[in-house]
Chains A and B, each alone.
Chain A
Amino acid sequence: QDHINPKDEL
């Protein structure tokens, strides 16, 4: 899966 969101944003 490309562009996995690292969920590092609030």
Chain B
Amino acid sequence: MNIFRLAGDLSHLAAIIILLLKIWKTRSCAGISGKSQILFALVFTTRYLDLLTSFISLYNTCMKIIYIGCAYATVHLIYMKFKATYDGNHDTFRIEFLIVPVGGLSFLVNHDFSPLEILWTFSIYLESVAILPQLFLISKTGEAETITTHYLFCLGVYRALYLFNWIWRFYFEGFFDMIAIVAGVVQTILYCDFFYLYVTKGEKVAIPS
């Protein structure tokens, strides 16, 4: 564990908690893409199946359980409890256009052709594009609530910090995983447009459609 990975995990956890609290406290999921949340729940489910097969550390296990729990709780709040506030008219990104190519790619480019490894690879590729429905929704509505921009900022920073973690691990441990690194770079690049607006606009972020 290094400072970049810890900061990244905490930023990721903060994003997940911010979103869950925002929906719970305001009793509304307006401006939130349910489709992105479904993709994140799918990412965690396919990546953390090793909860059943291997124990890394208490930290690792606890965080995985928290991530999966919060992801499904968020999907539940959006599609069940606060369904009436779900912005279905603007949340129209076709996620099958993400899942199918990512699924195909995970079969073609992976480290090992075993079920767990392919599912892990699928989750890595899917996570890199999972935020697209959310960014698409904001570009359609033309604005995002301040709390939503904080959520997106923390979510974007988490993978950027992981990039530094991989540099650190390559330098000190000789460890590197090209699949995770390339997907992480793509994922971080997708946030750049948002980061620019978040930093320059401060308040209401309006992503030009």
Contact = CB atoms under 8 A, between A and B. Distances in A.
B40 interface: no
B9 A10 contact: yes
Interface residues of A, number: 9
A9 to B, nearest CB: 7
Contact of B50 (A1, A4, A7): A7
A2 B56 CA distance: 20
Interface stretch (B142-150, B175-183, B200-208): B175-183
A8 B111 contact: no
Given A1-B111, A5-B111, A10 B177 contact: no
Contact of A9 (B111, B112, B162, B174): B162
Contacts of A5: 111, 175, 177, 180
Interface residues of B, number: 21
Interface stretch (B26-34, B60-68, B75-83, B99-107): B60-68
A4 to B, nearest CB: 8
A5 B9 CA distance: 18
Nearest to B54: A7
B27 to A, nearest CB: 30
A7 to B, nearest CB: 6
Contact of A8 (B56, B120, B162, B174): B56
A6 B1 CA distance: 13
Nearest to B180: A5
B176 A9 contact: no
Given A3-B175, A3-B176, A3-B177, A9 B5 contact: yes
Contacts of A8: 56-57, 60
A3 B175 CA distance: 6
Given A1-B111, A3-B175, A5-B180, A10 B120 contact: no
A10 B111 contact: no
Given A5-B111, A9-B180, 11 more contacts: A1-B111, A3-B174, A4-B111, A5-B175, A5-B177, A5-B180, A6-B56, A6-B175, A8-B57, A9-B5, A9-B162
